[in-house]
Amino acid sequence: MTARGDGHIMVAPEIERLDRTSLARLQLDRLRQTLDRAYACVPHYRAAFDAAKVRPDHLKSLADLARFPFTVKTDLRDNYPFGLFAVPRDQVVRLHASSGTTGKPTVVGYTARDIDTWAGVMARSLACAGVRPGDVVHNALGYGMFTGGLGFHYGAERLGCTVTPASGGQTERQIGLMRDFGAQVLVSTPSYALNLAEVAERMGVDLAASPLRVGLLGAEPWSETMRAELDRRLGFAAVDSYGLSEIIGPGVAMECHLRVGLHAWEDHFLFEVVDPQTLEPLPMGEEGELVVTTLTKEALPMVRYRTRDITRLDPEPCACGRTHLRILRVTGRDDDMLIIRGVNLYPSQMESVLVGFPGIAPQYQLVVARQGALDHLTVEVEALEPDSEDERGLLAARVRHHLKSQLGVSSEVIVRLPGELPRSEGKAVRVRDLRRG
């Protein structure tokens, strides 16, 4: 661990600043081991590699990975619950699972060494974001089957912080705990951070004047305008945090205090971006679907996992000194993209032009319905003040015009009264899609 003059800590400087040639060598070595393990221990991978006529010893360079088959979410579901595990079940010390809104949940497992690796990348991520040993970390991510709560918990303890395992919900109580314990760090989803900000304001607690310094926010798409809003209302620097259960949970990538993309931990994960339609690898820097391969995971090695997340990679070393690739803000999942009368739209793009619009609160919900042969979008926002129906009608017209001019999308806008839209307790549900019944 090294500390810089400005108080920032680097947990694994020899790895975080490793030159790219050595990093590629380390990746190739670990990738070979991962493919060997997957082929030898997981019947699904053996069958998939055989079908694609590739064997682990065909991998001579990192580019050869493109010859190997992808893994997708349904592979986990089809092998429910433990079929993709590469170790006997009694070596798995922890299970997590996704909520599984459609069909079976996806189950992920960790050996004791995986848990240790996870705590390590989390501690590294927290420090990268500007958290310091001794900080009071208020963790408002859900504890339980979701990877968020426990992932950050272990990392914060590993870094030497004092953790408040608040989990989600009981928002007023959480504000009291943050105030009384002098929280310096908040961990939550961006939408729940907004909920906390609103409730604190209502309770008369000025979190912006509290010791709160850093917000580690992630688990859902959000926008730069939401970041500015949260920075202002909570008096901290909000940084973006990315991860997914199938790969490890949070701890895949984290922004540093410069907030110019998320440092992706390449000694543990290998990143590709592919064209979501053709599935061909894209040149560095182009936008497409992020594909991740694990390099050190024991219980659940993932080979070319298609995340469905749309982003770009930036290979330039960061001014903070770290050499690992940066993932640029994830706009959304390709399956969350709406096509409204020919215009492609991610909910986070809508957020980026709604938040900060005069007269409305930064709360919104999108309702998509079928009207004849066309998709119809209704945008529900909230007035800042309890305006009359006429006033809200005028405000709606202004918002509708703004959305059309900024995004080119035609929509119906409804301005609700303050507090009418549902508040997030974790991952916000932004879209109600009435087309899917």
Q: Which residues bind ligand DLL (CB under 6 A)?
A: 98, 141, 146-148, 218-221, 240-245, 249-250, 307, 309, 330, 333
Phi, psi of 111 (to 5 degrees): -80, 175
Q: Quote the CA–CA distance of 234 and 247 in Å, as a whole number.
A: 31
If 0-12 CB within 10 Å is exposed, 13-18 middle and 19+ buried, where does residue 74 land? exposed
Minimum CB separation from ligand DLL for residue 216, in Å? Answer: 7
Q: Which is nearer to ligand DLL, 171 or 245 (CB)?
A: 245
350-380 as b/e: b if 16+ CB within 10 A: bbbbbbebebbbbbbbbbbeeeeeebbbebb
CB of 228 vs ligand DLL, minimal distance in Å: 16
> Is the CB of 141 or the CB of 415 nearer to ligand DLL?
141
Closer to ligand DLL by Cβ: residue 48 or 187: 187
- Cβ nearer to ligand DLL, comparing 35 with 262: 262
* Least gap, CB of 92 to ligand DLL (angstroms): 18
Choose between 178 and 253: whose C-beta lies nearer to ligand DLL: 253
Contacts for 378 with CB less than 8 Å, ≥ 6 apart? 366, 367, 368, 369, 411, 412, 413, 414
**Count of C-beta atoms within a 10 Å radius of residue 64:** 14
Nearer of residues 39 and 146 to ligand DLL, judged by Cβ: 146
* 135 vs 351 by CB, closer to ligand DLL: 351
Cis peptide before 81 (omega within 30 of 0): yes
Strands (E), 227-315: 237-244, 249-255, 262-264, 269-274, 288-294, 305-311, 313-314
Q: What are phi and psi of 412, to 5 degrees?
A: -100, 135
- Of the pair 56, 190, the CB lying nearest ligand DLL is at 190
C-alpha span between 237 and 217 (Å, rounded): 10
Closest CA to 41 of 307, 304, 297, 306: 297
Nearer to ligand DLL, 54 or 219 (CB): 219
CB of 240 to ligand DLL, least distance (A): 5
Residue 35 or residue 128: which is nearer to ligand DLL going by CB?
128
User: Contact, 66 vs 281, CB < 8 A?
Assistant: yes
Minimum CB separation of residue 148 from ligand DLL in Å reads 4
Q: How far is the CB of 351 from ligand DLL (least distance, A)?
A: 11
CB of 305 to ligand DLL, least distance (A): 10
CB 151 within 8 A of CB 200: no
Shortest reach from residue 100's CB to ligand DLL, in Å: 11
Angle of CA points 230, 233, 238, to nearest 5° = 30
- Rounded to the nearest whole angstrom, what is the least distance from the CB of residue 244 to ligand DLL in the complex? 4
Whether residue 3 contacts residue 9, with contact meaning beta carbons closer than 8 Å, is answered with yes
Distance CA 152, CA 143 (A): 10
Residue of minimal CB distance from ligand DLL? Answer: 218
Min separation Cβ 308 and ligand DLL, Å: 7
Helix axes 190-203, 171-181, angle to 10 degrees: 80
CB of 86 or CB of 219, closer to ligand DLL: 219
Orientation of helix 147-159 relative to helix 112-129, angle to 10°: 70
CB-based contacts of 389-395 (< 8 A; 24+ apart in sequence): 392/416, 392/417, 395/359, 395/360
CA distance 223 to 330: 9
Closest approach of ligand DLL to the CB of residue 350, in Å: 14
